[in-house]
Structure 1
Amino acid sequence: MVDSISQIASALESAKAITLEAAAVASSKLGESSYTHYSKNLSTQQLRNLLNSRNSREVKDAMKRILSILASNDTSVDIEEFFSDVVKNISSDDIKIKRMVYLYLLRYAEKDQNLALLSVNAIQKTLADSNPDVRAFSLKALSDIKIPSLTPIILLSVRKLIVDPSPTVRSEVACTLMKLYRWKRNEIEEDIMDLYTDLMCDSDPKVISSVLVVFKECFPDRLELLHGHYRYFCQILKKLDSWAQSYLVETLIRYCKRYIVKPMVVDISSKDVSSNCVPLPDKYNQIIFPVYELRMEKDLELFINSLKVLRFSTSPVVIVSCCNAFFQLTTPNDFRNSRFPEVLTNITVATSNLGVKTFLLQSILLYSKMDSTLFQQFNREFLPFPSDNVTVVCLKLQILSTLINDTNVEFILRELKKIIKHQKNEKIIIVASQTMASCGKLSVTLESHMMKWFIKVIESDKNGLTNNVLDCFVNIIRELVSYNPRRHLKIILKLADLLTTNHVRADNARAGIIWLFGEIAGIEYKVCPDIVRNLINGFVDEGPKSRRQLILLSAKLASYEYDQNKESSNESYNVDDSRIMRMFQYLAYLGKFDDDYGVRDMVRYLTSLFDSGKYEIATLLLQAPKLDIWDKPALNEDADFAEDTEDIDHDLIAYHSYIPWDVSDNVNSSEVLDIREGLPLKDYNKFKKSFSSENYVETSNSFVHNNTPEELHNETTSTLSTSATRNSFTSNTGKKYKLQSLDEFFSDVPAVPQAKKYSSLSKKKKIIRVVESSSEEETDPSEEGDDEEDEEEDDDETSEDDSETSSSGLESSED
C-alpha cells in the first residue's frame, strides 16, 4: 500500500514538472517572460544535452536560448563552445532549426573555418530542397559564410540556381552576386557580369527588383547595360517593389540624360511653329514662351507615361523620385499637370513619421524656391500645428514664405501674427518673423505696416523679448528701411526712442539701430547728432558691438560736417570749433583703453585719418555705402539657428541638383532607337508547371474579365473554338493526349450496380458516349485514330460478344 502511494506521488511530481516545462515552452511561442526565466535556469550541460537531443522541440528550445544569448551579448555563457553541437543540427528536417543554425554560422564561421566547412555539404544538399524558401535561405547562408575557399562552390551554386523556377530563389541569386562582387570583385568580375546579364533578362518583376538593387550598388555607371531592357523596365515599373521603383527611376533619369535626345519646346501661340522651337533649357524655369508644349522622343515619352501610374504609390521615396524625374526631364507645366505636387503635399500631411515628414518638407521647399506655382494652391496645408515638431514648423514657415502672393498675403499675415504672439519657442518666432518680412516686400503699404507692427511688439512686451528675437526684429526693420530710407523717416525716429528708453537691451540689436542712423546720416543729418549726444554718457555700459558702432557713427557725422563746411566756405576745417569732432575725440579717447581689441583697432584706424588731416580720404571711406570692414553688424554669433534657418540636408540638395544633357542635338534618332531593341526574356516560371489540370483551370477561368458584353461574347466564342487545341498535349513519343475535367474523366464509370459493372449494357453506354462526343466535337482525324488505338489497348481483354453488342449499339444510335 505504501509503495503504491509513493509511486503515485512520484508520478504526480513528474507530471507536474512536465506540465510546467510544457507551459514554459508554449509561452515562448507567445514571447512571454516565463520562457526567458525558464531558459536562464538551464546549465551548460543541460543546454548541450538539448542540442544533442533527438526531439526537435528540445533542439529548437536550445537554439532559441543560444540566439538569445547571442543577441544580448551575454558574456556569462561562452556559446562558441557549442559550435560543434549546433552545426550538426543543420541536417534537421525542421526549417526553423535550420534557420537558427544558419544564423549561428554567420556569426562564428570565420572563427572556426575548418569546422564550418563540415556544414557546407549539408547546406548544399538543401539547395535542392522542394521548398523554394529553403533553397533561397540556404544560398543566403552559403554566401554569407565568408571563407575564401567557398567562392568556387558559391559560384557553382549560383549557376545552378539562376534557372530555378522560383523567383524568390533567383532574387537571392542576385543578392549573392552583389556579395561576391563586393568580396571578390577583381578575381571573378567577368563571371559575375555574365551571370548578372542573364538575370537582367528575367521576366519576373520580383527578380528585376533585386537586379536593380544590385545595379545601384555595384554597377551605377554601367548605363549601357540598360539598352536592351529599357522599354521592358518602363513597362513593369508599376509591378516592382517600392525601393526598386525608386532606384529604377533614378537610374533611368541618368540614362535619358545620356542616351536620349533633349526634348524640344514649341511655342504653340505662334503660327510659324518651326521657327519657334527651341531645345529644353538647361535650367528648370527659363522657358521664354508664354504658351508652349513639349515634344520628346518615344522612349522618353514611354518613361514619362509610366511614371504617371506611380502617383498612387504610398511610398514617399517613390513619390520624391518621380517628382525629381519630372523636374529633370520636363517643363514646369508638365510637372504641374502631372499632379505629383498634390500627391507630395498629401503624403506629407498624412505621414506621422518625423524623419519622413522632414525629408518631404525639405523637398517641397527646394521645389517651391524654384517655382512657387507648384504648391501655391496648397498653402493652407503648410500652416503649422501645435503638435508639430520645431523643425517641421520651421520648414512649413519657410515654405509659406515662398508661396506668398497678393491673393493669400492677408491670410498668411494673420496666421503669422498669431504664431509670433502666442509661440514660446525662440526659433519658431524668428522664422515666423522672417516669413513676415517676405510679406512686407510685396508693397509699400505692407512694408510700413510690418515695421510699425514690429516696433509695437517691442514696446508692448512686458516681460521683454529675448536677445535673439530682438536681433531678428531689428534686423528685419533695418532691412526694410534700407530699401528707401527717405520714405520711413518716422519709423527711424521711433527706433531712436527705443534706444533711449532701453526697450532694446540686446547688444547686437542696439548696434543694428545705431548702424541704421549712420546710413541715413546723409539723408537726414539733423537727427543723428542727438543720438550720439544721448548715448555718449552711457558709452561704458554699452556692449562691444554697440561701442564700435557708436564710434563709427560719430566719425561719419564728422565727415559729413566737413563736407558741409567745405561747401559753405573755402576756409579750412577747424576741429576745435566742432562739437561733433569733440564727441568723436572723447569716444576715441575712451576706446583706446577698451578691453575689446575690435574697439581699439577701430579707434586706431579712425584717429590716424583725422589726426593727419586727411579729411578727404576719411570722407571717401566713411561715406561709402555699407562698408564691409566695420559697417553693418552681423547676426548674433551665439545663436546656432540664426545663421541659417533653412537647414536642408546637403545630400538632398545634391539629389535634386539638375543633371545636364549629354546627348547632342545632331544625334540620329533612328540610331538611338536601335540600341534599345528589346532582348529576349527568360521565363523560368514555366518549369514549375507540370502536366496536370492547372492549364485547364487557367483555361476555364479565362472568361473572368472586366470586359463589355460584346467583348466577352467574342472572347468566349474564340475560346470555345480553340479549346481542343489548348487542351491537347503531345508526349515525347509523339502520342497525343487530351486533357479532361473531373466530370469527363469519371464519366467512364458506369452508373449501375457493382454486380453488373461488366455487363453489356455498361459497355453499350460507353460506346454511345464516345460516338456522341465525336459527333459534337470537331476533332482531328489523326486524334480520333489515336483515341481508337488507345481504346483497343485498354480493352484488349474484351470478348467478341462485346464487340458485336457495341456494333449493334452503334447502329441503333445512328438510327
Structure 2
Amino acid sequence: MSYPASGIHTATPVSFPSQHSHSNNVGGHGGPPIGGGGGGGGGPPAGGAPVPDSYFTESKKGEVNELKVLLKNFATERDPQRKRDIIKKVIAYMTLGIDVSRLFTDMMLAIETRDLVIKKMVYLYLCNYAHSHPDLAQMCTNTLQKDCGNEDPMVRGLALRSLCSLNLPQMVEYISEPLRKSLQDHHAYVRKTGVMGILKLFYLDREAFQECNFTDILYDMLRDVDPTVVANCIRVLNEVMAKSDNGGMAINRAIMLHLLNRIHEFSEFDLVVVIELVHRYIPANAEEGYQIMNLLDPVLRTSSSAAVLATVKAFLSMVDSIGSTATEIQEIKEQIVSRVKAPLITLVASGSNEGCYVMLKQVEQLVELCPRLFDDEYRQFYIRFNEPTHVKYLKVKILPLLANPDTAPDIVAELAEIVNDNNMQLSRLAIQSMAKIACRNTGGPGAAESIAQRMVDFLDLNVQHVQSEAATALTLMVRKHPELKPVCCQSLARTLRYVEEGSGKASIIWLLGECCDIVQDAPYALEKLIDDYDNLKDIRVKQNLLNATMKIFFARPPETQRMLGRLMIKVTDDVSSQDLHDRGLLYYRLLKSGADPKSILAHIVSNSKSTIPGEILFTEEDDKELRAELMQEFDSLAIIYGKTAVNFIKPEYQVVFK
C-alpha cells in the first residue's frame, strides 16, 4: 500500500470583530456621582509613588459618613433619582469590600419605597450585612412579609428571595408561611423563587423543613405548568436527597415519562437537569429503555453541547438494562455511537475553542469505546493553523485511533507534515502518534515498515527534538515488530554521535543492543561512550549503556570483553544511582558465578523474538480498567482530567450515585 505525502489541511481564517471593554465611570470614588460632586479622592495621588492601603481606607471613611448624612437628608427623600444615586454608591462601595455596615439603620429605612430599583439595592444590602446586625435585620421582617403580598409579582419574588437570604436562625418562623403561599402563587416567577427558598430553609433549619412537609409538596409541583418551576423542583429535590440511597430525588416510571414528554418545553440549562435524571433511572425492560431513547432523540438535533452530551450519557447508561449478553450490549453501544456521531462532529467543528476541546475529549472516549466508528470522519480531526495548541495536541492524539488500512496513508502523511511544525511539543506528539499506528497494527500491510522508514529519515534531520523522539518511537516499534530491525538500524551508529537529548541517546543505545547482530560497528560505537562514562549525566543513558553492552557481550564476546570489564568497574563505583549500582553488581556476580548465562539469555531472547499479534498494547499502555471507570463518569470533569472523580474531589464533597 502506498503512503502518499499530503499537506497540512487548514481552515480559512475567520476574522472576529474587535471587542471594546465598556467601563462604567461612576465618579471619582468608584460609584455614581452624587449631585454634581465627585472629586478625585478615590484615585491615587499624582506622582505615581506607591501609597499604603490605609490612605484609601481613611479617605473612604469620610465619604461613608457623607453618605450617611445624605441618606438622612430630607431633600433626598423628595428626589427619587438623587436617592437612587446615593444608594448606588453605597452598593458600589460594598462590592469593593469597603465596610458600609454603619449605614444599616439608614438603609433599612429606605426600604419603604415603590421604586423597584431602590428596593432591589436595599434588599441586596440587607442580605449582605444581616449577619453583622441580626437584631436590626429582624426589624425589617414586617416590611419584607408585607412585600411578599405585594400586587407586583416582581416585588413579591424579590422580597421572598431576600427574606430567605437573610440566613438568620431566628427568621425561620417568619419564612415558612410566605414560602408556602409562594408555591401557590399564580405567577411562575414567584413560584420558582419560592422553590429555591425551600432549599435555603433546608440548610437553615432542617427540622422546620421536615415539619412543613416540603418534600412531598415539591414532588407534587413536578406537574407545574411552568418548566422553569419544574426544573427548580428537580434541583432542590436532588440536593435535599443527595445523601439518600438514590443519590438524589427518587424517580419512578410515571415521573420519568411525564418529564420526557415535556422535554421540548425546557430551556437549555433546564434540559440538562431533566436529562441527568435518566442517568440514574433503570428501565424495567428493553421496551421501556427504547421508549426513553426515542423521547430523548430530538435533543440530539439541538445546538446545545451540554444537552447533547447529557443525552449521550443517558443512552449509554441504559445499555446494560437493554442488552442481555455482552455481544448484544456491545452492539447496542455501537448503534448509539453511530447515532450520536454526526451531532458530536458538528459541535466539534462549530463551537468555541474551549467547547471544541471538551467535545474532543468526550469523542476520544467514545472512539476508544467503539473503535472504527469514527474512522470515516478522520479529516475532521486534522489540525487548523488558527487553533490553540491544546486543541491541536488533542487532535493529534486522536488521529492514530482513527487509522485503518484505508485511512492510515492519509493520516500518516498528515502527521509527517506536522513533524515539521515549529511547536516542539506538537512535533513530538505527531511522531508518537505515527508510532502508535505502527504498534497497534491498524495501518494494514506495509504500514509499520513505511512508518519505520519515515522514522529513520527523521533521524537524519538536524533537529534535536525530532531525532530524539524518532529514536524513542523506533524502540517501541522494534519491541512490537522485531522484524523491523533491518529497517531501523541503518544509521544508528552515525546518529548516536549527534543526538544530545538524554532520552534520544538512551533509545539509540537500546537499539544498538537489540540490533547488535546486524549493526557491525555497534560495540565500537558504545566503546566511545564507555571511555567517556564520567561525562555522562543522564541516568537513562548509563542504564541502557550497561544493558546494551551486556547484550552485545553475549552475542559477540571477543569484541566486547575488555570494554565490558571497564564498564563494570565504572558502574560498580558509581554512586549517583542506587538502581544502576545494584544492577551492575547483579550482572557482575552473574558472570562471576560460573553459571551459563547464555542459556538464560537464549530463553529470554527467544521469547522476545515473536511478533506481538493484533492490537495488543504494551502493559504500560493497557488502561482498560481506567477507561471503563471513566465511561461511568462520561460528560464530567473526570473525562477532561483523565482521572476518576475520587482522585480530584475531596471525600466530603463527593456524591455517590447508586
Task: Classify 1:541/1:252 alpha carbon distance in 2 versus 1 (closer, same or farther; 3 Å).
Answer: same
* 1:148 Cα deviation after fit: 0.5
Task: Classify 1:225/1:343 alpha carbon distance in 2 versus 1 (closer, same or farther; 3 Å).
Answer: closer
* 1:512 Cα deviation after fit: 1.7
Q: Note if contact 1:213-1:244 (Cα within 8 Å) is conserved in structure 2.
A: no
Aligned partner of 2:230 among 195, 208, 216: 208
Q: Note if contact 2:279-2:314 (Cα within 8 Å) is conserved in structure 1.
A: yes
Encode CA deviations 1:135-177: one digit per residue, 9 max, x unaligned.
1111110111111111122111111111111111111111111
Matches within 5 A, 1:68-79: 68-74=92-98, 78-79=99-100
Matches within 5 A, 1:229-244: 229-244=255-270
Matches within 5 A, 1:6-155: 31-34=24-27, 36=31, 38-39=33-34, 40-41=38-39, 43-52=63-72, 53-54=76-77, 55-74=79-98, 78-155=99-176
1:224 and 2:250 correspond: yes
Match of 1:508 in 2: 503
Q: Note if contact 1:127-1:135 (Cα within 8 Å) is conserved in structure 2.
A: yes
Aligned partner of 1:655 among 621, 633, 639: 633
Task: Classify 1:383/1:62 alpha carbon distance in 2 versus 1 (closer, same or farther; 3 Å).
Answer: same
Q: Which runs of 5+ in 1 are unaligned?
A: 1-28, 264-295, 563-577, 629-641, 659-815
Q: In 2, distance between residues paired with 1:406 and 1:370?
A: 20
Match of 1:615 in 2: 596
1:360 and 2:359 correspond: yes
How many aligned residue pairs are there? 550
Match of 1:786 in 2: none
* 1:196 Cα deviation after fit: 1.8
1:412 and 2:411 correspond: yes
Match of 1:603 in 2: 584
Match of 1:292 in 2: none
Q: Note if contact 2:400-2:411 (Cα within 8 Å) is conserved in structure 1.
A: no
Matches within 5 A, 1:41-440: 41=39, 43-52=63-72, 53-54=76-77, 55-74=79-98, 78-186=99-207, 188-189=209-210, 191-220=213-242, 221=246, 222-255=248-281, 257=282, 259-261=283-285, 263=286, 296-297=287-288, 300-330=289-319, 331-336=332-337, 338=339, 340-354=340-354, 356-421=355-420, 423-440=421-438
Match of 1:586 in 2: 566
Aligned partner of 1:549 among 538, 544, 547: 544
Q: In 2, distance between residues paired with 1:494 and 1:443?
A: 26
Look up the SS of the partner of 1:85 in the other structure: helix
Task: Classify 1:353/1:62 alpha carbon distance in 2 versus 1 (closer, same or farther; 3 Å).
Answer: farther
Encode CA deviations 1:293-325: one digit per residue, 9 max, x unaligned.
xxx23xx33321221211232221111111112
Aligned partner of 1:537 among 515, 522, 531: 531
Match of 2:59 in 1: none
Q: Note if contact 1:559-1:622 (Cα within 8 Å) is conserved in structure 2.
A: no
Task: Classify 1:235/1:62 alpha carbon distance in 2 versus 1 (closer, same or farther; 3 Å).
Answer: same
Look up the SS of the partner of 1:655 in the other structure: coil
| Amino acid paired to 2:231 | S
* 1:249 Cα deviation after fit: 1.3
Identity rate, percent: 21
Look up the SS of the partner of 2:567 in the other structure: helix
Q: In 2, distance between residues paired with 1:225 and 1:485?
A: 57
Match of 2:643 in 1: none
Q: In 2, distance between residues paired with 1:623 and 1:520?
A: 17
Encode CA deviations 1:430-481: one digit per residue, 9 max, x unaligned.
22112222343323522222222222223132xx323xx4443112111112
Task: Classify 1:123/1:654 alpha carbon distance in 2 versus 1 (closer, same or farther; 3 Å).
Answer: same
1:484 and 2:465 correspond: no
* 1:369 Cα deviation after fit: 1.2
Matches within 5 A, 1:717-736: none
Q: In 2, distance between residues paired with 1:301 and 1:387?
A: 42
Q: In 2, distance between residues paired with 1:425 and 1:509?
A: 18
Q: Note if contact 2:215-2:237 (Cα within 8 Å) is conserved in structure 1.
A: no
Task: Classify 1:373/1:50 alpha carbon distance in 2 versus 1 (closer, same or farther; 3 Å).
Answer: farther
Q: In 1, distance between residues paired with 2:205 and 2:374?
A: 49
Matches within 5 A, 1:687-726: none
Q: In 2, distance between residues paired with 1:386 and 1:485?
A: 37
TM-score (norm 2): 0.76
Task: Classify 1:539/1:120 alpha carbon distance in 2 versus 1 (closer, same or farther; 3 Å).
Answer: same
| Amino acid paired to 2:317 | Q
Q: In 2, distance between residues paired with 1:482 and 1:174?
A: 62
Task: Classify 1:524/1:444 alpha carbon distance in 2 versus 1 (closer, same or farther; 3 Å).
Answer: farther
Look up the SS of the partner of 2:103 in the other structure: helix
Task: Classify 1:382/1:644 alpha carbon distance in 2 versus 1 (closer, same or farther; 3 Å).
Answer: farther
Q: Note if contact 1:161-1:170 (Cα within 8 Å) is conserved in structure 2.
A: yes
Encode CA deviations 1:149-208: one digit per residue, 9 max, x unaligned.
111221111111111111111111111112222332355335231332232232321211
Look up the SS of the partner of 2:491 in the other structure: helix
Q: In 1, distance between residues paired with 2:560 and 2:539?
A: 22
Q: Note if contact 2:452-2:487 (Cα within 8 Å) is conserved in structure 1.
A: no
Look up the SS of the partner of 2:161 in the other structure: helix
Match of 1:23 in 2: none
Task: Classify 1:234/1:560 alpha carbon distance in 2 versus 1 (closer, same or farther; 3 Å).
Answer: same
Q: Which runs of 4+ in 1 moved over 6 A?
A: 642-645, 648-652
Task: Classify 1:486/1:411 alpha carbon distance in 2 versus 1 (closer, same or farther; 3 Å).
Answer: closer
TM-score (norm 1): 0.62
Look up the SS of the partner of 1:73 in the other structure: coil
Q: In 1, distance between residues paired with 2:196 and 2:629?
A: 26
Q: Note if contact 1:363-1:652 (Cα within 8 Å) is conserved in structure 2.
A: no
* 1:237 Cα deviation after fit: 1.3
Encode CA deviations 1:344-366: one digit per residue, 9 max, x unaligned.
22122212252x22211110110
* 1:109 Cα deviation after fit: 0.3
Q: In 1, distance between residues paired with 2:446 and 2:195?
A: 65
Q: Note if contact 2:568-2:584 (Cα within 8 Å) is conserved in structure 1.
A: yes
Q: In 1, distance between residues paired with 2:416 and 2:185?
A: 66
Task: Classify 1:310/1:382 alpha carbon distance in 2 versus 1 (closer, same or farther; 3 Å).
Answer: same
* 1:107 Cα deviation after fit: 0.8
Q: In 2, distance between residues paired with 1:470 and 1:489?
A: 19
Q: Note if contact 1:474-1:512 (Cα within 8 Å) is conserved in structure 2.
A: yes
Q: In 1, distance between residues paired with 2:503 and 2:226?
A: 65
Q: Note if contact 2:372-2:402 (Cα within 8 Å) is conserved in structure 1.
A: yes
Match of 1:443 in 2: 444
1:473 and 2:451 correspond: no
Q: In 2, distance between residues paired with 1:337 and 1:457?
A: 38
Q: Note if contact 1:234-1:302 (Cα within 8 Å) is conserved in structure 2.
A: no
Give the number of the structure whose alpha-carbon radius of gyration is greater.
1
* 1:123 Cα deviation after fit: 0.7
* 1:561 Cα deviation after fit: 5.9
Task: Let me know the Cα RMSD of the aligned residues.
Answer: 3.3
* 1:549 Cα deviation after fit: 1.9
Task: Classify 1:408/1:493 alpha carbon distance in 2 versus 1 (closer, same or farther; 3 Å).
Answer: closer
Q: In 1, distance between residues paired with 2:521 and 2:431?
A: 28
Look up the SS of the partner of 2:272 in the other structure: helix
Q: Note if contact 2:153-2:190 (Cα within 8 Å) is conserved in structure 1.
A: yes
* 1:531 Cα deviation after fit: 4.2
Q: Note if contact 1:143-1:154 (Cα within 8 Å) is conserved in structure 2.
A: yes
Q: Note if contact 1:556-1:623 (Cα within 8 Å) is conserved in structure 2.
A: no
* 1:65 Cα deviation after fit: 0.2
Match of 2:491 in 1: 494
Q: Note if contact 1:365-1:399 (Cα within 8 Å) is conserved in structure 2.
A: yes
Q: Note if contact 2:195-2:233 (Cα within 8 Å) is conserved in structure 1.
A: yes
Q: Note if contact 2:337-2:366 (Cα within 8 Å) is conserved in structure 1.
A: no
